[in-house]
Structure 1
Amino acid sequence: MAVPNANEFHWQSLARLPSGRVYHSLFEVGGQMYMLGGCDAAGRPCPALDLYSPEGDRWISLPPMPTSRAGAAVAVLGKQVLVVGGVGEDQSPLKVVEMYNTEEGRWRKRSALREALMGISITVKDGRALAVGGMGADLLPRSILQQYDLRKDVWALLPPMPTPRYDAITHLIGSKLYVAGGRQCKRPVKAFEAYDTETRSWTSLPTLPCKRTYAGVLWDPDGRMCLLGGLRQGGGHQSSKFTKNINIFDTNQGSWLKSDDTVSMKTKRADFAAASLRGRIVVAGGLGHEPSALDTVEAFHPQKKKWEKLAPMNFPRCSASSIVIRDRFLVVGGVNQVPSSAHEILYVKEEELL
C-alpha cells in the first residue's frame, strides 16, 4: 500500500467534549470510541463515561463509573471493560476495580487491588489483564506484577519486576511482556525488562539510552519500539531539555539501533500525541521551547527517510489522549493552559470521513 503524501493528510474538528478534560482514558470496543474519567478544569477527577457517535457527530453519556477517577488503567476483555486504580477525588491512589459491560450498559464492582495504586500499566494476554508496577499512597514505586482472571474475579501475584516503577511503557509480543522506562518518585528510570509468561521469569535488556519522560512511544509490527522526543533529564545542575531525538529498540536483535540509523524529528517536543497511520509515524502538538502548547504536526516518510510537516492541529494542546480507529487518528481533550474540550481527527483526504 502506498504511503500517503504529506498534503493528503487532513484535520477535521468533531463534536467538542461536554467539558474540558485531561488524564482521561480512551478505549475501543467494536470499532467505537469510549472516553472514561479524567480531571475537569478544577482538577477534580470525574466519573463520566461517554461514547462518541460518528453518525450524529455527538457524545452520548453512558452510566457513570461508581468511583470518580483520573489516570485509570483500562483493559478491554471482549465486551467488558476493566478499570483499575488511578487517582481518586482526594488526589490519592485507588485500589477500587470496576467493570463496565458494554452490552448491558452497567457497572459492577470487582475484586480490589491488594493496595491502592496509580500509574499502573496494563496489557491483555489470553483474556487476562496483566497489571505492572504503580505508585502507592506513600508515593513510592512498586515492582508488583499481577494478573486478573475475569471468570474467577481474582488477582494473582506473579514474580515481581526487578525494577520498581510507575507509568512504564508496556507491550506484549508473543509470550513476552516488555516493560520499558517509567518513573520512581517523579524521576525517570532507564530500566528495560521483559517478563516471559511461559517461564514466569524476568530478563534485563539493554537500558534506555537516556533518562527522559513524556516521550512518544510506538511499536511496529516487526517488533521494534520507537521512543520519540520527550523531556531529557539534565544531570547535576543542568536543566531538563526538550529533545527531538529518536531511539529504536529491535526485539529480534535484542539491541538499540545505532543513532546513524534513526532520523530526528523536526521539532523538539514532549507530552504530544503519536500514532502509526497509513505506514507513517505521526506526532502532533505537545510542549516545546515555545511558552504555549504546540499545534504543529509532522510525519515520517519511511521511503524518503525524512520527517515532513503536515497541516497543524486546529487546537494546540499537550497531554491529549489519542487513539487510532479504522485508520483515523483521534486526538481528544488535553491541556492548553486549561483542560481542553477539543476533539479532532486526522485522516487521509482521499477517503470518506468515518
Structure 2
Amino acid sequence: MIPNGYLIFEDENFLDSTVAKMNALRKNGQFCDVRLEVSGRELLAHRAILACCSPYLFEIFNSDVDSRGVCHVTFEDLDPQAVEVLLNYAYTAQLKADKELVKDVYSAAKRLKMERVKQICGEYLLSKMDCQNAISYRNFASCVGDWHLLGEIDGYIQEHLLQISDQEDFLKLPRLKLEVMLEDNQNLPSNGKLYSKVLNWVQRSLWENGGQLEKLMEEVQTLYYSADHRLLDGSPLEGQTNIFGNDDHIQFVQKKPLRENDHRQLNGSSSSNLSPSSTPQSGKPEWKYIASEKTTNNTYLCLAVLNGVLCVIFLHGRNSPQSSPSGTPCLLKSMSFEAQPEELEQKLLLPMHYARSGLGTAELDGKLIAAGGYNREECLRTVECYDPLKNCWMFIAPMRTPRARFQMAVLMGQLYVMGGSNGHSDELSCGETYDPHADEWTQVPELRTNRCNAGVCALNNRLFVVGGSDPSGQKGLKNCDAFDPISKTWTNCVPLNIRRHQAAVCELDNFMYVIGGAESWNCLNTVERYNPENNTWTLIAPMNVARRGAGVAVYQGKLFVVGGFDGSHALRCVEVYDPAKNEWKMLGSMTMARSNAGVVLLGGTICAVGGFDGNDFLNSMETYNPNTNEWSLYIDAFAAQRLSNGKGLKPALKD
C-alpha cells in the first residue's frame, strides 16, 4: 500500500536473513572487531552486536580509547563453551545449551550482566531440581549469590528433607554434633526458637574463642537445656555461663573480654574465620536455619547454613549419661514433621517481580509502591505494590510513560512522578499522577526544563522538583520548581547553593532537605535545607560519606540516608542525621550494596528495595531495625520491628 504518497513495505524475511548472515560472518571471522580470549580459546565477534546484549562488554567497549582497531577482552575464569552459547544467543536470540553446561552459562551470563539469560538459566535449574541434586544446586546458588534461587531451593529442601538426607551429597556435608543435657522428664523442644538459639551459640563460640567452624565440628559439643527454657554452655554443675535467656530475648554474657576485632565482627563488618570461597558473593555470609526432622526420641537432624557453609546439625538430648552422638542418624520415615513451618522458617522478604534501579518509591495507604526504573534491558512502565501483612507484591496500573532515574512523592493522597529518562531520549519533561481509588495514571503539566535524576518532595501541599541533569549535558542543576496541584501551575523557587543531580530529597519538620548527589560526576557530601517561609537554602552539616544515588527516609525526627555510589563503588553504609544536634552518625550497614535504590518508611520500618550492587540489578528488599541497628532480608525482622513499635520501644540510636 502507498497511503499519503509514501511507499511502505515490510520484508518479513529480512530480519531472519540478516541475523543468519551476521552469525555466519562471525563464525567465518569476517569483519570481526572483537577478540574474546576465554580460558585459552579465542572467539571472534562484532563489537556492536555484543554491546547491545552485554552491558558489561558495552562498558569495556565504551571506555576503549582506540575504537578503530580490534578489541581484546580476556576471561580466565569462564567456560569457552558457555561463552559460545551466549554468542549464539546474541546473534540469534536462541539460547541452546546442554543441561550439563547450564550452570556455566549462568555464571558467564552473570559476569557479562546478561540478566535475562541468567533468569532463564535459573528457572531451568529449578525445573530440573530433584532430591539427588538439590544440595549441589543450593551450593551453586550460594556461590553465585542468587537470593531468589536460594529461596526456591530452600523451600524444596524443607518439603523433601527425608528423601534428600539419603543422598550422597547430604552425607558428605560437614556435621556439627551437639549433645544437650536435659533435666528429668524433659524433651528437646521442636520449634524454631531452639534452632535459632543453636545458631547464635555457634556464632558466639567462634567470636568468643577465636576458633574455626571446622575445629568446632571435630568433637561433640555439650550444652544444657534447663526447665525454664534456658540453653546453657556445658553442664550447670561446672558453673558455666548462661548463654541465652528466655525465648523472647537472646542475651549473651561474656566469659572473658572480647578480642580486639570482635566488635567489628559483631557488626558484620569484618571477615569470618571461614575462607571467602565458602560464602556467597553478595550480601553477608549466611547464618540460616533451613529444615529439620525428628530422627528418634529426643534426637533431631537440622540442616542449616553456618557462616555460608551448608551443615548438618545433629541435636541429641539425654537425661542420663550414655554414649555421645556419632555418625549420621538413620531417619525414621514414619516420623512426621513436628515443628510449625511459621516457627522454623526464616522467610525471605518476597522480592519484586522485576529487578529495578533508578526507580520511584513511596508509601501509600500502608503499602510500598515501586514504579518504573531500569534493569539493563529497558526502562519500565510497570508499577508494583508490596503488602507487608501478606509479604507479597502485586501489580497496579502501569505508568503512561516508561521512565527511570526519577523520584516519586505522595501529595494529597496521590502519587506524583516527574521527569526521568525513558531510555531513548536523555531526559523527560512529562509527569503523571496516580489515583489509588481509580487505579489509573493521568498526565500533569510538564516541567519547564527536561531533566532526569532530579529530587522530588511534597511540602506544604506543593510538589517540589530539585536539581537534576538536562539534555544539554549539564550534569548538576540548581533549579528548584514548585507545582500547585490545585491551580496546576509551576513556579520558580530560589535555586540551590550547589549544582547537584542524583541527590536524596525529603521533608522533615516543614523543611526540605537535599542530600549529597553529584556536581557533574564528583560525588558530594554537602547537604542543603530549604525553608519555604522565607524561600532560602542553607548549608548544614555535611555527611560522613560523599554519595550520589542514595535513598532517604525520615524516622522519629531523624534522616536516614542509605547506600548510594561514592564514585567508585556502590555503598552498603548508612548514616543518620539529627537536626537537633546538626550532626551525622554512621549506622549498621545493609546486607548488600545498593545504589539508586528505593528507600521508604513502611509501617514504622525503614525499607530499601531494588537498586544496583555494582554487578547486578536487584529485586530484593531488606529492612532496618533501629533497636538492633541491623538490616535483614527476612520477613521476621519486619514483624519484630512492627511489634517493637507497638510496644513503644525506643530505637537504640544513642550517642
TM-score range, shorter chain: 0.5 to 0.7
Q: 2:626 is matched with which residue?
A: 347
Alignment-mate amino acid for residue 209 of structure 1: N
Contact map agreement 1:87 1:118 (CA 8 A) in 2: yes
Matched length: 296
Q: CA deviation at 1:170?
A: 1.5
Match of 2:115 among 32, 41, 44: 44
Contact map agreement 1:322 1:329 (CA 8 A) in 2: yes
Give percent identity, aligned residues only.
21
Q: 1:246 is matched with which residue?
A: 527
Q: CA deviation at 1:69?
A: 5.6
Q: 1:122 is matched with which residue?
A: 408
Structural mapping, 1:22-101, within 5 Å? 42=113, 44=115, 57-59=346-348, 61=350, 65=353, 70-74=357-361, 78=365, 84-87=371-374, 91-96=377-382
1:317 aligns with 2:593: yes
Contact map agreement 1:228 1:246 (CA 8 A) in 2: yes
Q: CA deviation at 1:195?
A: 0.7
What's the secondary structure of 1:183's corresponding residue? Answer: coil
Q: What TM-score, normalized to structure 2?
A: 0.38
Contact map agreement 2:500 2:518 (CA 8 A) in 1: yes
Which stretch of the first structure deviates more once superposed, 263-272 or 173-182?
Answer: 263-272
1:211 aligns with 2:499: yes
What's the secondary structure of 1:226's corresponding residue? Answer: strand
Alignment-mate amino acid for residue 226 of structure 1: Y
Distance, in Å, in 2 between the alignment partners of 1:228 and 1:334 is: 18
Q: CA deviation at 1:61?
A: 4.1
Q: 2:484 is matched with which residue?
A: 196
Structural mapping, 1:135-174, within 5 Å? 135-174=421-460
Q: Deviations over 1:285-337 (max 9, x none)?
A: 54447x65556554444444333x44552757341543334554445665554
What's the secondary structure of 1:141's corresponding residue? Answer: coil
Q: CA deviation at 1:274?
A: 3.8
1:225 aligns with 2:512: yes
Distance, in Å, in 2 between the alignment partners of 1:155 and 1:333 is: 23
Alignment-mate amino acid for residue 188 of structure 1: G
Q: Deviations over 1:174-218 (max 9, x none)?
A: 431111122335733322101111111110111222222333333
Task: Name whichever structure is richer in helix by fraction.
Answer: 2
Q: 2:244 is matched with which residue?
A: none
Contact map agreement 2:386 2:393 (CA 8 A) in 1: yes
Distance, in Å, in 2 between the alignment partners of 1:344 and 1:81 is: 12
Alignment-mate amino acid for residue 324 of structure 1: L
Q: CA deviation at 1:135?
A: 1.9
Distance, in Å, in 1 between the alignment partners of 2:422 and 2:458 is: 25
Contact map agreement 2:409 2:458 (CA 8 A) in 1: yes
Distance, in Å, in 2 between the alignment partners of 1:331 and 1:306 is: 23
Task: Name whichever structure is richer in strand by fraction.
Answer: 1
Structure 1: runs of 5+ lacking an equivalent:
1-39, 234-239
Distance, in Å, in 1 between the alignment partners of 2:492 and 2:528 is: 18
Q: Deviations over 1:224-246 (max 9, x none)?
A: 1222233222xxxxxx4333222
Q: CA deviation at 1:108?
A: 5.9
Alignment-mate amino acid for residue 170 of structure 1: V
Structure 2: runs of 5+ lacking an equivalent:
1-109, 121-147, 152-341, 630-636, 642-655
Seen in structure 2, the aligned counterparts of structure 1 residues 227 and 315 have a Cα distance that, compared at 3 Å, is: same
Contact map agreement 2:598 2:611 (CA 8 A) in 1: yes
Seen in structure 2, the aligned counterparts of structure 1 residues 274 and 127 have a Cα distance that, compared at 3 Å, is: closer
Contact map agreement 1:143 1:165 (CA 8 A) in 2: yes
What's the secondary structure of 2:409's corresponding residue? Answer: strand
